[in-house]
Every structure is written in structure tokens, then in C-alpha cells.
Amino acid sequence: MKEMTKKSIGEAFAGESMAHMKYLIFADVADKDGLPNIAKLFRAIAYAEKVHATNHAKLLGYIGSTVENLQGGIDGENFEVDEMYPAYDAIAKLQGEKGAERAIHFAVEAEKGHAKFYAEAKKLAEKKEDMQSGDVYVCPVCGYTVIDDVPEKCPVCSYKGEQFTKF
């Protein structure tokens, strides 16, 4: 693919990905507002944006085997922990943005665990084995993630473990 087209498709992928996430968040708001059909519309269009993002990701070569995808996940999580969020945190501190500092702290702590889970899964996938886990739980406040055992309180933000979202 020629460089200008690649850049354009990359920006389109980023835009479609952001729209996908925003619309899912908007659907949650509509649900809380008691508007289930509007929530359904947001979720349907979010799916369409995911289809667009997937098409772009395929063109850009972002999708590989499960082992390659897990390595991509490891690399992405480590980049966020080691480079991206420390830089963003420095800016937030410099500008006195306490809310941003808190959100960044939550993300960094969760991302550390995500990288470990991906690394463990990659070792298994390389042997053509699946994980032998039960449910995965995510704190809806900070994103802290656990497999099987939900803590009484989130170790990152102290949210009630019983309120974690189950996958």
C-alpha cells in the first residue's frame, strides 16, 4: 500500500475505533436514562463502526495469528505502561489535572495485569493450548482485571469486588 493511502487508512482505523467505543459508552448512558431502544441503536451503529475498523485493520496488516495478536497485545500494554502513560501523567501533573492523574493511575495499574495475562496466554497458544480459566472479572471503575477470584475490594481503586463485571 502506498504511504499516503496507508496513513489515511490508519487515521480512518483510529476514527472508526474511537466511534465504536464512544457509541458503546453512549449506549450505556441511554440505558441508564431508561431509553433501551436508543441504547440498541447506539450498539448497532457501534458494531457497524467495528466492521469498518476491522476492514481497515486487515488492510493495514494489524491482524495476525492468535500468538501474533497476543504479542501485539503485550507490546501495546507495555508501551502504555512504560512510555505513553508516564508522559501523559507528567503533563497532567504539570498542569495540576487531578482527574487525569487519577484516570492515568487506574489505567497503568490495570494495563500491567493485562500484559501479564497476555504473556501467560501466549505461552499456551504457542503450544496450541487454551487457557484453563473460568470467569474473567473487570472493575468497572478502574479496569483492574482478575481471572476466577474476585477480591473483596479492588486493589487499585477500592471499589466493591461484588460489582466487578463478569466475562
pLDDT tens, position by position, 25-44: 999 999 999 999 999 999 99
pLDDT over 90 (residue 134): no
Please, where in the chain does CATH 2.20.28.10 lie? 133-167
Residue given cell 431502544 in the structure block? 37
- DSSP-H helix ranges across 33-160: 36-60, 66-79, 85-94, 98-126
**Domain covering 65-130: architecture:** Up-down Bundle (1.20)
**Beta-carbon neighbour count of residue 90 at 10 Å?**
11
* pLDDT of 95 over the 90 cut: yes
How much is the pTM?
A: 0.85
CB 60 within 8 A of CB 10: yes
Closest among 13, 98, 117 to 60, alpha carbons compared = 13
The second-level CATH assignment, the architecture, of 3-60 is Up-down Bundle (1.20)
Chain segment 49-94, per-residue pLDDT in tens: 999 999 999 999 999 999 999 999 999 999 999 999 999 999 999 9
133 confidence band (pLDDT: 50, 70, 90): confident
Within the chain, all domains assigned CATH 1.20.1260.10 are found at 3-60, 65-130
Kindly report the CATH class assigned to 133-167: mainly beta
Any idea what the Cα angle at residue 73 is, between residues 48 and 85, rounded to 5°?
A: 95
